[in-house]
């Protein structure tokens, strides 16, 4: 082909490309071999990993990038089993190989800035990645300013273990080092927070460990709340399995901590009491993960208001926020809820990209808790969306495990708790 | 082939592609509903662990099971609390979806 012909050929291709673009801008990408759209997912936990996978399942022509600092994600669910000593960290660690095998671009880095005008995210090294649609699933951050005497770096000695990985190991090591007859304080925060039954499963499984190895020890729960998730079921289990070992102090009875003396391991409560302990598991009040604040996507409470049908931010277009960071109506902040929202969000994005109406959303949550390795309890809910209610519970469904269940029932729920973990981690990371 | 013919061929095949791609991705109500089962029963209903797999079960079996869980005719630990959240029509869609997995 002469250079003139080649030039003419390219001009003709270029103009036919413009013709294609005028038919459907996003389809034009696909026709020329480019993706139908570029989606970036920030955060590779239960929300982000699930969203990325389901985006790919719905539309394999999407270019999907999943940005997550950890090469192996260490879950919070079942981290209490590690604290208790009957599982190890490896058993709750998950790689992103399956995502890579699907053709999802996995980037192990942190997003430090979002430029939604130019539709780019900036990574810690300065690299910029472009998107058509952005999903944030950044989890939680902590409101350290709400308690005197403590700052983020103090979590190295007073672990929250409310983010998985090194914090879990740290708390486990403290429990192992503690003398028999020691006191452990577990301090759950006020609502809303990640995983409402989580602190109480933690108490249960620490008690299980103590019963076997350090039976003279005690657990003191200093709670910023007046009641908690599955309370009567937990307390029934504690009375049965760990009588005399656990004391729960409600907010109004002096449970709310307002100051921590980090050096001396002493906590002070709002009602003026103080407690010294061998191990303090202080779980601070929470807010959305840092990037959500940096990007201007949070309200005055520190969480992200979203369209609860599509999870698109109410504050900025083309950015969707799922999981703990989002305000999702009646759904709790849980890994299960994040996985559910990830799928609904993926459906919303793919539908929008292809100019289709998304199907009516359906959401679900089940929180399994182990009172001991073979005593399980659960709370379940099915949700729908309406414009006036947002995400609401379907009447006549859901609820907690029965109060009058026998040993076999509790054992079966414990088995299903483990089965749930295997299924959801395969669904999210596999 | 002449340049004109090449471009004509490209445009023609591209027009075919446009209609294929823009109608290719539509997410059904059945998929939306069934996806909410995956967290416990596994992606596509293929459970790797203790919770029963439901992929490839007959639609009539799934429909009857969910009906019986809801009424309590079939005892369950948690399924009664879930099945009762779906209408008959939704159950039929879910059942048909998993029967094909």
pLDDT digits (tens, 9 = 90+) for B45-95: 999 999 999 999 999 999 999 999 999 999 999 999 999 999 999 999 999
**C-alpha–C-alpha distance, residues A45 and A68, integer Å:** 8
Class of A6-69+109-141+286-429 per CATH? alpha beta
Does B93 fall in a domain?
A: yes
**C-alpha–C-alpha distance, residues A130 and A115, integer Å:** 9
**pLDDT score for A149:** 97
| The token pair that represents A284 in the structure block | 């601070």
Two domains, one topology: A6-69+109-141+286-429 and A144-282: yes
Residue A245 has, within 13 A of its CA and on its CB side, a CA count of 27
Is the Cβ pair B18, A399 closer than 8 Å? Answer: no
Closest CA to A191 of A232, A143, A156, A152: A143
The interface predicted TM-score of the complex, written ipTM, equals: 0.90
Does B16 fall in a domain?
A: no
Does B57 fall in a domain?
A: yes
Q: Which domain holds residue B85?
A: 26-99
Does B63 fall in a domain?
A: yes
Each residue of A57-114: pLDDT tens digit? 999 999 999 999 999 999 999 999 999 999 999 999 999 999 999 999 999 999 999 9
Whether residue A2 is predicted with pLDDT greater than 70 in this model: the reply is no
Each residue of A398-414: pLDDT tens digit? 999 999 999 999 999 99
Give A261 to chain B, closest Cα distance, Å.
42
Interface test with A, best of B77, B87, B94 (most A CBs within 10 A): B77
| A385 alpha-carbon distance from chain centroid | 21
Does B38 fall in a domain?
A: yes
Name the pLDDT band for B11 (thresholds 50, 70, 90).
Answer: low
* Continuous segment of H or E residues that includes residue A130: strand A128-130
Coil, helix or strand for A195?
coil
Give A225 to chain B, closest Cα distance, Å.
27
**C-alpha–C-alpha distance, residues A396 and A379, integer Å:** 14
Average pLDDT, integer, range A210-238: 98
Residue of B nearest to A350 (CA): B25
Does B43 fall in a domain?
A: yes
DSSP label of A376: E
**C-alpha–C-alpha distance, residues B50 and A419, integer Å:** 4
Give B60 to chain A, closest Cα distance, Å.
22
Per-domain boundaries in chain A: 6-69+109-141+286-429, 144-282
Instruction: Tell me what percent of the residues of chain A surpass a pLDDT of 90.
Output: 92
CATH code, A144-282: 3.50.50.60
Closest CA to A381 of A344, A340, A422, A416: A340
**C-alpha–C-alpha distance, residues A69 and A79, integer Å:** 19
**C-alpha–C-alpha distance, residues A101 and A94, integer Å:** 14
8 A C-beta contact, residue A280 and residue A260: yes
Instruction: Count the domains in chain B.
Output: 1
**C-alpha–C-alpha distance, residues B67 and B89, integer Å:** 12
């Amino acid at each position: 082909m002469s250079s003139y012909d080649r030039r003419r050929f390219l001009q003709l291709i270029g103009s036919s490309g413009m013709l294609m673009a005028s038919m459907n801008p996003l389809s034009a990408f696909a026709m020329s071999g480019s993706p139908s759209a570029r989606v970036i997912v920030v955060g590779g936990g239960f929300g982000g990993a699930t969203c990325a996978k389901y985006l790919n399942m719905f539309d394999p022509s999407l270019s999907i990038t999943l940005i997550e600092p950890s090469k192996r994600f260490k879950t919070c669910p079942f981290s209490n089993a590690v604290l208790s000593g009957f599982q190890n960290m490896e058993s709750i660690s998950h790689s992103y190989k399956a995502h890579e095998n699907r053709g999802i671009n996995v980037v192990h880095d942190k997003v430090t800035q979002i430029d939604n005008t130019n539709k780019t995210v900036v990574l810690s090294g300065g690299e910029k990645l472009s998107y058509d649609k952005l999903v944030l699933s950044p989890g939680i951050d902590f409101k350290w300013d709400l308690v005197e005497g403590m700052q983020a770096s103090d979590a190295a000695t007073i672990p929250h273990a409310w983010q998985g990985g090194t914090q879990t190991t740290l708390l486990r090591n403290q429990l192992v080092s503690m003398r028999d007859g020691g006191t452990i304080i577990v301090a759950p925060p006020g609502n809303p927070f990640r995983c409402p039954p989580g602190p109480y499963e933690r108490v249960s499984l620490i008690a299980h460990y103590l019963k076997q190895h350090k039976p003279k020890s005690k657990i003191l729960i200093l709670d910023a709340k007046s009641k908690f998730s599955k309370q009567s079921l937990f307390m029934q289990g504690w009375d049965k399995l760990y009588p005399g070992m656990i004391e729960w102090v409600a907010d109004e009875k002096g449970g709310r901590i307002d100051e921590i003396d980090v050096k001396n391991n002493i906590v002070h409560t709002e009602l003026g009491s103080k407690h010294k302990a061998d191990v303090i598991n202080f779980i601070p009040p929470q807010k959305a993960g840092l990037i959500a604040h940096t990007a201007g996507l949070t309200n005055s409470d520190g969480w992200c208001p979203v369209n609860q049908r599509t999870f698109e931010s109410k504050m900025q277009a083309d950015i969707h926020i799922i999981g703990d960071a989002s305000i999702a109506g009646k759904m709790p902040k849980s890994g299960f809820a994040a996985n559910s929202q990830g799928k609904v969000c993926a459906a919303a994005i793919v539908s929008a990209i292809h100019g289709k109406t998304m199907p009516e959303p359906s959401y679900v949550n089940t929180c399994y808790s182990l009172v001991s390795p073979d005593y399980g309890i659960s709370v379940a809910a099915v949700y729908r969306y309406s414009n006036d209610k947002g995400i609401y519970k379907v009447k006549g469904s859901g609820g907690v495990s029965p109060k009058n269940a026998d040993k076999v029932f509790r054992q079966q729920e414990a088995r299903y708790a483990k089965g749930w973990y295997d299924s959801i981690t395969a669904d999210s990371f596999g | 082939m002449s340049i004109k013919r090449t471009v004509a061929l490209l445009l023609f095949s591209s027009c075919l592609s446009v209609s294929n791609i823009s109608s290719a991705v539509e997410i059904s109500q059945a998929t939306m509903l069934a996806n909410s089962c995956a967290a416990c029963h596994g992606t596509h209903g293929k459970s790797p662990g203790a919770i029963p797999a439901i992929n490839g079960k007959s639609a009539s079996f799934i429909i009857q099971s969910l009906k019986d869980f809801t009424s309590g005719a079939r005892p369950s630990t948690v399924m009664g609390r879930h099945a009762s959240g779906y209408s008959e029509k939704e159950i039929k869609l879910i059942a048909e979806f998993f029967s094909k997995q």
